[in-house]
A and B are shown apart, each in its own frame.
Chain A
Amino acid sequence: MRDLRIPIGLFFSLAGVILAVTGLVTENRAPLETVNVDLYSGLSILVFGGLLLWLARRSF
C-alpha cells in the first residue's frame, strides 16, 4: 500500500457523506439533544476524511 492515509481518508469521507445525508433527509433526533447531530458530525468527519486524502495527494 502506498499510503495508509488514502483508505482511511476514503472511509471517513464516505461515512461523513452518509451521516450528513441522513441528517438532511431525516428528522432523527436523540432524546436529550435537539441539534441535528448527524448533519454536523457528518460534515466534520467528511472534512477530516478529505484532509487525509488531500495530505496523501500532496505528498505524491
Chain B
Amino acid sequence: MTLAPVDYLILSLYFAFVLGIGWIVKRKVATSEDFLTSGRSVPVWITSLAFIAANLGAQEVIGMCASGAKYGIMTAHFYWIGAVPAMLFVGVFMMPFYYGSRARSVPEYLKLRFDEKTRALNACSFAVMTVFSSGISMYALGLLFQLVLGWSFTASVLLSAAIVLIYTFLGGLTSAIYNEVLQFFLIVLGFAPLAIMSVLKAGGWSGMSQRLPPVMTHAWSYLKDPSQNPMGVEIFGLVAGLGFVLSFGYWCTDFLVVQRAMAAESMSAARRTPLIAAFPKMIMPFIVIVPGVAALALSKMALGYALPVKADGGPDYDQAMTTLMAQFYPSGMLGLGLTALMASFMSGMAGNVTAFNTVWTYDLYQGYIRKHAPDSHYLMVARFTTVVGVGLSVGTAYLASHFNNIMDFLQLVFGFVNAPLFATFLLGMFWKRATGHGAFTGLLAGTLAAAATHGLTLAENKGGWLGAVVHSFPSTMAQNFWIAIFAWSTCLVVTILVSLLSRPKAEAELRNLVYGLTDIPHDADLPWYKRPLPLAAVVIVALVILNFIFW
C-alpha cells in the first residue's frame, strides 16, 4: 500500500486539529481537578461519545474485523451481550454512587467505601495495567504500519506518542475527551464506506449468507454446543462469562471508561452517559465486524481478493481490515481511513494515559507520598505524570517488541486480577454489610481462583501448569470465560463470609456510597429522553430487535 500526497495532507490536517484542540483547551486548566477530572463540566453528548471512543482503540478495530472474518457475526456478542447490558447497569444503578460519592477516581471510591488497602490494591494494579495496555497497543500499531505502509516502527511509535503527549499535557482530561469525540466521528466516517462497499461487493447480506457457512451469519443459532461454532463456546459460558462477569467487570469498574462519565456536568448527565453511548455501541459491529465477514465472503469469490497467508500457512485475519482498505479505497479516502486508524490508536492511548494520570496523582501520590500539598503542586505532578505515562508506554512498546512472551504472561496475570473485581463493586454498592477486610480478601481469593482455574485446565495447549488437568476446554476463549466465572463466584462468596466475620462500617460513614443510604435523584419532571430508566428501556428494545435479526 503506498500513500499519495493527498493522503499525507489529510493526516497532517488531523494532527493540526488535534494539537489545536489541546491548545485551546489549555486556557481552561487552572486547578488539578480541571486537569484530571475536567472539573466535572463536560456536556453529556461529549462524555457519551468519549465513553465508547476511549475503549475503541486501533487494536479493537483491527481485532474486531479479524474476528469477524474468523468467527463471523457471532463476534457482535462482544458488543451486544458483552457491553450494552453492562453499560445500562453502570448508568442506571452504579453511577449514583460513583458520582454522588464525589470520589475523583474508582480506587478513591473503594477507599471511601471500604478501606485503604482495597484502594491501594486496585490503584496499583490499575496503574500498572493501563501503562502496559497502552504500550501493547502502541506496539501493535507500530507493527501494523510497518507491515502495511513500510513506515519505520520507531517513527510511527514516536510520532503518535509525541502528539498524544502534547495534547494531553496541554489540556489534560478535557483535551483527551474532546479529541476522543473527533476520533469517534473519524472512525465512523472513515470505516463506514468500507463496510458499505465490501458488503455490496459480496452481494449484500443475502449474498454473504449464501457464500459462507451458516454459522458465520448467525449470532445465536449455533451456541448449543462448543463444537458447533468456531469460537468453541456454549451459551452459558458466553452469557455468564462474557456477558456478565467480564463485561460488567470492565464497563462498570474500569476507571478508563468510568472516568469519562464522572467528568459529566451533573449527576443526571453522568447517569445518561453510558446509556446514550449504548446506541452508537450497538451500531459499531456494522462498521468494524461486518467488513471482516464480508472479507471472508469476498475471498470465496473469483475477484482476485484473498486473505493474506501467515507463516504457518493459516489465513492472517489481522490483515482483513487493511487489505480491504487497499482494495476499496483510492488515494484520498485511503488517507482518511488510515487517519481513522491512527486516531483510534491515539484515542486508546490518550484514554490510558489520562486514567493512569488521575490514579497516580490522586490515589498513589496524594494518598501515600505527599498528602497535604497545595493544589498547584498536584497540578504540576499531574502534568509531569503525563510525560512519565507516555514515556513508560513507549518503553513498554519496545519491551513488547523484544520480549513477546513476557507480554503474554502479563496480560494473563492482569486477566486474573480483573476477573473478580465486579463482585467487589456489586457487594460494595448494594450490601451495606460488606467490609474492607471482606473486599480485600475476596479480591485476593478471586485472583487466586482465576490462576488456579487456568493452572488446572487446558485449552489449545494453554494452562495446565499446576500439573493435574481437571478439564479441557475447546478454545482459550471458553477457558477465559470460565476462569472469569470461577474468579467472580469465589470473590463473591469469600467477600460475604469475611464481611460477616468482621466489623461493619458505621452507617454515617457510608452515606452516598451504598444503596439504601444514598438519595437517588428525582427526575420524574424531566422529559423521558433525559431520564435514565426510559432511555435504558429504549436501548433494551433495540438490542432485542438486533439480536432477533441476526439470530
Which residues from chain A sit less than 8 Å from chain B, CB to CB?
1, 4, 7-8, 10-12, 14-15, 18-19, 22-23, 26, 28-33, 35, 37-38, 41-42, 44-45, 48
Using A11-B13, A30-B330 as known contacts, list a sample of 17 further A-B pairs with CB atoms less than 8 Å apart, ordered by residue number in A.
A1-B21, A4-B46, A7-B20, A19-B333, A22-B331, A26-B331, A28-B331, A28-B332, A32-B197, A32-B303, A32-B327, A33-B330, A37-B330, A37-B333, A38-B332, A41-B333, A41-B336
- Residue contact B327 to A31, C-beta cutoff 8 Å: yes
- Residue contact B13 to A33, C-beta cutoff 8 Å: no
Give min CB distance, B121 to chain A, whole Å: 37
What residues of chain B lie closer than 8 Å to A30, measured between beta carbons? Answer: 326-330, 333-334
Interface check B14, CB cutoff 8 A: yes
Compute how far the CA of A6 lies from the CA of B17 in the bound complex, rounded to whole angstroms.
Answer: 11
Residue in contact with A14 in the complex, picked from B13, B185, B328, B329, CB distance below 8 Å: B13
| Max chain B Cβ within 10 angstroms of own Cβ: one of A19, A32, A48 | A32
Give min CB distance, B411 to chain A, whole Å: 34
What residues of chain B lie closer than 8 Å to A29, measured between beta carbons? Answer: 330
What residues of chain A lie closer than 8 Å to B9, measured between beta carbons? Answer: 18
- Residue contact A12 to B332, C-beta cutoff 8 Å: no
The 8 A-B pairs of least Cβ separation, nearest first, read: A28-B330, A22-B332, A38-B332, A32-B327, A11-B17, A30-B330, A41-B193, A1-B24
Interface check B537, CB cutoff 8 A: no
Compute how far the CA of A31 lies from the CA of B326 in the bound complex, rounded to whole angstroms.
Answer: 8
Within 8 A of A (CB), among B185-229: 185, 189, 193, 197, 201
Instruction: Count A-B contacts at CB 8 Å.
Output: 92
Give min CB distance, A21 to chain B, whole Å: 9
- Residue contact A15 to B13, C-beta cutoff 8 Å: yes
Interface check B178, CB cutoff 8 A: yes
- Residue contact B336 to A19, C-beta cutoff 8 Å: yes
What residues of chain A lie closer than 8 Å to B25, measured between beta carbons? Answer: 1
What residues of chain A lie closer than 8 Å to B79, measured between beta carbons? Answer: none
A-B contact pairs, 10 of them (CB 8 A): A1-B21, A1-B24, A8-B181, A22-B6, A23-B332, A30-B328, A37-B330, A38-B332, A41-B333, A45-B336
Compute how far the CA of A54 lies from the CA of B382 in the bound complex, rounded to whole angstroms.
Answer: 37
**Known contacts A11-B182, A15-B336, A38-B333; is-contact A32 B13 (Cβ 8 Å):** no
What residues of chain B lie closer than 8 Å to A37, measured between beta carbons? Answer: 193, 197, 328-330, 332-333
Residue in contact with B17 in the complex, picked from A1, A7, A19, CB distance below 8 Å: A7
Compute how far the CA of A12 lies from the CA of B24 in the bound complex, rounded to whole angstroms.
Answer: 18
- Residue contact A11 to B332, C-beta cutoff 8 Å: no
**Known contacts A7-B21, A48-B189; is-contact A18 B305 (Cβ 8 Å):** no
Give min CB distance, A37 to chain B, whole Å: 5
**Known contacts A32-B305, A41-B193; is-contact A18 B10 (Cβ 8 Å):** yes
**Known contacts A11-B14, A15-B10, A48-B189; is-contact A38 B178 (Cβ 8 Å):** no
B182's closest neighbor in chain A, by CB?
Answer: A8
Residue in contact with A42 in the complex, picked from B178, B305, B332, CB distance below 8 Å: B332
- Residue contact B332 to A18, C-beta cutoff 8 Å: yes
- Residue contact A18 to B6, C-beta cutoff 8 Å: yes
A41's closest neighbor in chain B, by CB?
Answer: B193
Give min CB distance, B32 to chain A, whole Å: 20
What residues of chain B lie closer than 8 Å to A7, measured between beta carbons? Answer: 17, 20-21, 24, 182
B6's closest neighbor in chain A, by CB?
Answer: A22
- Residue contact A8 to B332, C-beta cutoff 8 Å: no
Compute how far the CA of A14 lies from the CA of B336 in the bound complex, rounded to whole angstroms.
Answer: 12
Q: Encode B169-191 as 1/0 by CB contact (under 8 A) with A.
A: 00000000010011001000100
- Residue contact B13 to A18, C-beta cutoff 8 Å: yes
Q: Encode B276-318 as 1/0 by CB contact (under 8 A) with A.
A: 0000000000000000000000100001110000000000000
